[in-house]
Amino acid sequence: MFKKYISKSITVKFVIYMFIIGLIPLLIFGILAITGLKNILSVESENFNSEVVKEKKVYLEHLMDDVESLIANISGIEEIKDTLSTDDLDDSPYQKLTTQAKMGYILSGYINLKGLISIDVFSKNNEHYYVGETLNTNKINIKLKDKLLQEAISSKKNVYWSGLEENINLNSKNKYVNNAVKVIYANGKEAYNVTPIGVIIVSYDINVFDDYFKNIKNYDGYNIIIDRNNNIVYHHEKAYIGKKLSDKFDNKFTGENGQFVEKINNESNMVIFEKTDKARLAIVSIIPFNTIYKESKFITLFLSILLLLALVMIIIFAFIMSKSIVNPIKMIANTFKLLQENPNTLPKRLELKNKDEIGQLGTLFNSFIDAIEDISVQKKLERKLNERNEELQSTLMQLTQTQGQLVQHEKLAGIGQLAAGVAHEINNPLGFISSNLETLNKYITVYSDIMNIYLELDSTLPSDAKKIIEKARSKRKEEEFDYIMEDIKDIFKDTNEGISRINKIVTSMKIFSRVDQSDEHSEYSINEAISTTIVVANNEIKYHAEVKCDFGNIPKLYVNGGQINQVLLNILINAVHAIKDKHITGRGVINIKTYSTDGYIYCEIEDNGKGIPAEIANKIFDPFFTTKPIGQGTGLGLGIAYDIIVNKHKGLINVESEVDMGTKFIIKLPVTSGGN
């Protein structure tokens, strides 16, 4: 019921159309505006946080530089090197206490660096020299010390940063630290295949990052620091320090820096990271998208209110406009309805006061009423016009069929002309093959007679053997047996050559026979096609012209091979006829050249025949135009060639000619000919 009401009510349709035209663009604009705002906020947040992360990276690298400078100073002290080098000597307890005091005094001068927890120096014999935040050093994690030493040696770095590790001093109140390790070699020579004399391990407090990281405003996001093994070195919530990130992050922190989106606790977050060059720590900034997009919520609310107001205004406006439009249209509709019920009734003219488009519609309707009297005349003219169109369509169909028949006739004529030449070409080798076989039959008879004489030896007495052998020799000399044996070889050689020639001719004819195939396109080599065409048309060519080919290194085409073969054959036969009509002494010359340039393949066929007069050069491609006597030419050959090259393959065919000098046809085909 409602659908039926809509189909009849212009007012309802007008309201719906106004709703579509007015609200949908506004809705699309709102969606695009909100999406664009979110993109801008996302980009700004990304840029801001990228800069913050870079600043933090600079800060971390500055701290590491301070630690590495401290380690460099310590490792360069000669007293420390001497102590580590003489560690294997059997010192007295007093001497060891003295050494401990001296090393402690030296190391205590470097303990004031911010964030430094302890400095541990181990000799190769695990003698331990220490300075730090606790005096209780009786519990040392030797296994961890050995692990750090081996990692530092393997890293081949001047100072190796281990990432997050447990404190080497088990009595320390700082459970997790970031260790900087320096391997000490004798005489300062860092040869990694030499056993080191000791190692320096500096334990750095990871809590020192709080003083800097917690004071940076960061779009309500938060920051973490992870080491190369994805262990959390810093987190604003201390409970997470020392824990490893989820496996889903294993392949996310690749490269020196980057940005990606990740769901954490079912909330999408923007993740930005930068890696330090030395310790390979990654500073990671994590910002929830909800905090990034919070500024867009007000705009979303504003656009929703605007959309609601627009809907109310559109409905009011639609009803007002429809009222001023629908009533005049109903008046026109009622008039047409009256005219439909009684066509012979002359409707009344409309009296509309509107000056707008509705008024113009009334004026046009009144003009229609004035023209009703001429409708019958117009219908008669229309009927005659339709009849004439049907006649023209029938004539066009007949012309199309006639054109197809003429084209097929030209194809069959070319094939018939080739058939005569091919028959002549095949007949020559068949002639000498037949003659050779006849001679070979005679030779075999002679050979059989002589062999029968020799076979008589099997049934003859030994006394008569000489007589029989002499008889065989006489027969062998009489029949020229030695010549026969030599001639048999030449006979087989000539026969094989003839069979090869027949095979070549038949193969070429088979390839060329694609002229009768459908209009399908396929891969096509114009060089091979020219060679095949020359073989097929050889009987026409060989008595009148010598063909010289200059084939370029050109790509294959994608064309109707049969149609292109037909063009090549037609131009080649025309060249032979032009040379024959010139009546020159000896044979003429046909030069064929192919090359490729600028995405096109060119084929030039040039003869030194009689040429084409300038006054008819522009007519040679016209259908049915021929200069040959009646009955010797249809005048369709070059017309079909033009249609094949230009219309069917989007190429060009041009002719250059000079009377008594010769003619050159230039075929130009695009490499993608055929629309492949």
Domain ranges for the chain, please list them.
Answer: 48-289, 405-509, 517-670
Pick from 35-39, 191-195, 497-501, 659-663: least confident? 191-195
* pLDDT, mean of residues 383-402: 72
- What is the pLDDT at residue 400? 60
- What is the pLDDT at residue 215? 60
Q: How confident is the model at residue 214 (pLDDT cuts 50, 70, 90)?
A: low
Q: Looking at the predicted structure, is the pLDDT value of residue 213 above 90?
A: no
Helical packing angle, 375-455 and 561-582, nearest 10°: 80
Q: Are the C-beta atoms of residues 557 and 527 closer than 8 Å to each other?
A: no
Other CB atoms within 10 A of residue 480 CB: 13
Please give the distance of CA 593 from its chain centroid, rounded to a whole number: 35
Q: Looking at the predicted structure, is the pLDDT value of residue 674 above 60?
A: no
Other CB atoms within 10 A of residue 145 CB: 19
- What is the pLDDT at residue 112? 82
Q: Are the C-beta atoms of residues 146 and 181 closer than 8 Å to each other?
A: no
Q: Are the C-beta atoms of residues 181 and 149 closer than 8 Å to each other?
A: yes
What's the CA gap between 244 and 227, in Å, rounded? 10
What's the CA gap between 603 and 191, in Å, rounded? 73
Burial of 90 (0-12, 13-18, 19+ CB in 10 A): exposed
Q: Looking at the predicted structure, is the pLDDT value of residue 517 above 60?
A: no
Query: CATH for 48-289?
Result: 3.30.450.20
- What is the pLDDT at residue 350? 65
Residue 177, CA distances (Å) to 34, 122, 196, 424 in order: 46, 18, 24, 101
Q: Tell me: the pLDDT tens digits for 69-112?
A: 888 888 888 888 888 887 655 567 777 788 788 888 888 888 88
3-state secondary structure 486-511: HHHHHHHHHHHHHHHHHHHHHHHHHH
- What is the pLDDT at residue 667? 94
More confident residue, 612 or 320: 612
Q: How confident is the model at residue 675 (pLDDT cuts 50, 70, 90)?
A: very low
- Its pTM stands at 0.43
Other CB atoms within 10 A of residue 89 CB: 7
More confident residue, 80 or 552: 552
Please give the distance of CA 304 from its chain centroid, rounded to a whole number: 44
Q: Tell me: the pLDDT tens digits for 584-604?
A: 777 899 999 999 998 899 999
Q: Are the C-beta atoms of residues 594 and 556 closer than 8 Å to each other?
A: no
What's the CA gap between 113 and 204, in Å, rounded? 10
Q: Looking at the predicted structure, is the pLDDT value of residue 287 above 80?
A: yes
- What is the pLDDT at residue 601? 94
Report the C-alpha dihedral over residues 6, 10, 12, 15, rounded to 10 degrees.
140
What's the CA gap between 53 and 47, in Å, rounded? 10
CATH superfamily of 517-670: Histidine kinase-like ATPase, C-terminal domain (3.30.565.10)
